[in-house]
Structure 1
């Protein structure tokens, strides 16, 4: 598969996702050009993760329309999934603490070679495919700012031994192996210090500047980002409580979404 150039344009009008207990969010509109950094801002329980999953084709919207990279939602979910990737989403992209960093990277490269390449790519000699996988992994690590040599045991470092910011960078790198046009990342500022938050936003801005459209969930949007607030679109306290209940039970829905897509 050839290297993609640029990011995905995102345009949405009046989006809403409804769960068994009510609306997770509704009335969301956003317009972002390719290579934008979009910050989905709001408190936990306001539907932030549901919006992230909806914009990346992992959760079906109940009202409104959206266009992501030329594909329309809700009808073209699979097309949106093909051009997007997720990172750091609890219940969807969880890292296995017992595996090493190298094992995660090899597994992701294998999945990309097996399921992400075109038929022509699959017919190339094994050596060429392996070399291409190595280049992809190296580029993804560089873009995510994860230096394997700086880890305690290099690529043999277990995920359980990573610092929180290192684990986030690894999750981003794994998502970037597929060269997505749109990268969705959850909980960008959860349990991070002010300095670590600054590092994360610097990373995400660098990805956007390089052409990838980035949609990031946060409690407070940074300056210069395209801001989308889920809190401002809560209709009333009953809907807000329903959203909180829905996000508390998101593990099952996210697992269903992942099973449907076959990969994050």
Structure 2
């Protein structure tokens, strides 16, 4: 299995069938540890379902896949332990009534309770608090979110965050557990051109630090990403994109993939 700081991801003829038919089918690609993987396709083409399948949250119907050297779907539970979800509508979302501090505190507590060792749980409270604060600060720094710049600092409610700020918070929450892979749905949804560039720069920086990033997008993917297409042409590598073979028309980045995700979640019994 890969180190905790990066998970290679591969798929061969991967497909997932829901109540209305195939959510996606014939997905084949390979991406090394620390890659930036962009899942691109029109709305309703199974982008989110593919993201959930590769992170062990949905069971594919055909084909083979591995994340971090763990075979899917047989090792799905193990994949879930190393792959964290950022924002995924209907699956992993921020609570608009919570403040930034409440989200961070809740995630740190959950991380300590479910993933910490017994020895860590028995440490003095002061040490536990300092350790949690250190993880939170490191995650915020990696996500490029400085709470001091928010209207009410960490007491700012999620409903008052700008779209890019909310994305950064979601990424920070996913990083608290130090995953090998983070998955981000609708990475470019409702962002201006400038904000979209900032969002991709954030995800690129995480990948450069060794964490594999799997991001769904509706608009153009970065040239240096491993581009995986749903409902269009087969997956391409950065080299393929550079030589002009990557010619599918991008979808409207303001559209979301929620309906297809809900259908496939119903088929697999997850919600």
TM-score between the two structures when normalised by the length of structure 2 = 0.86
Is 1:180 aligned to 2:179, yes or no? yes
Determine if contact 2:34/2:208 at 8 Å carries over to the other structure: yes
1:189 equivalent to 2:202? Answer no
- Name which of structure 1's ranges 4-13 and 15-24 shifts more when overlaid on structure 2: 4-13
Structure-2 change in CA distance of 1:164 and 1:256 (3 Å): farther
Give the 3-state SS of the residue equivalent to 2:232 in structure 1: helix
Greater shift, 197-206 or 219-228, is seen at: 219-228
For structure 1, the residue ranges without an aligned partner over 5 or more in a row are: 235-243, 259-264
Contact 2:15–2:22 (Cα < 8 Å) also in 1: yes
Aligned-residue offset at 1:246: 5.5
**Equivalent position SS for 1:232:** coil
8 Å Cα contact 1:14/1:26 also seen in 2: yes
1:7-46 CA deviation, whole Å, 9 max, x = no partner? 0011111110111111100110111111000000101100
User: Where does residue 58 of structure 1 map in the other structure?
Assistant: 57
The 1:100/1:246 distance shift into structure 2, 3 A limit, reads: closer
Match of 1:221 in 2: 221
| 1:48–1:248 Cα change, 3 Å | closer
Alignment of 1:106-145 (within 5 A): 106-145=105-144
Q: Distance in 2 between matches of 1:230 and 1:19?
A: 15
Output aligned runs, 1:52-91, within 5 Å.
52-91=51-90
Q: Which has the higher helix share?
A: 1
Change (3 A) 1:106 1:85: same
Q: Is the 8 A contact 2:181 2:214 kept in 1?
A: yes
Which whole-Å deviations, capped at 9, do the CAs of 1:65-97 have from their partners, x for residues lacking one? 111112100101001000000111101121111
Deviation at 1:231? 2.0
